[in-house]
Amino acid sequence: MPAAKTPVSPDILRRETITAGERLNFALGLEQQLHEQLLKQPDRTVLAQWKQCRRSVESFAADYVSALRAYRSCVTPGEGDS
């Protein structure tokens, strides 16, 4: 028999969602700055930084979606998977 999940407070899940969103927002801003730098003056180092930042954005976006789903499923049971 699987162990029962310990319920998590909606406030904790909301805070995790906000934190994940803030990380994503910051990474998107940095990605934009690096992209603008590349447009003005192409550079291998900046390109490498932009690529790494892009990977981080994709990871943070997945984290945000996951956190949002967890929060939604907590506050609206049965609707968090949509």
3-state per-residue secondary structure call for 38-69: HHHCCCHHHHHHHHHHHHHHHHHHHHHHHHHH
pLDDT at res. 17: 97
pLDDT at res. 80: 47
- Alpha carbon 75 to its chain centroid, in Å, reads 20
pLDDT in tens, the chain (82 residues): 555 567 789 999 999 999 999 999 999 999 999 999 999 999 999 999 999 999 999 999 999 999 999 999 998 866 545 5
Q: Residue 77 corresponds to which tokens in the numbers above?
A: 């049971």
Q: Is the pTM of this model over 0.85?
A: no
> 62: how many CB neighbours lie within 10 A of its CB?
12
pLDDT at res. 79: 57
Q: Are 46 and 62 in contact (CB under 8 A)?
A: no
* Residue given tokens 């990871």 in the structure block: 59
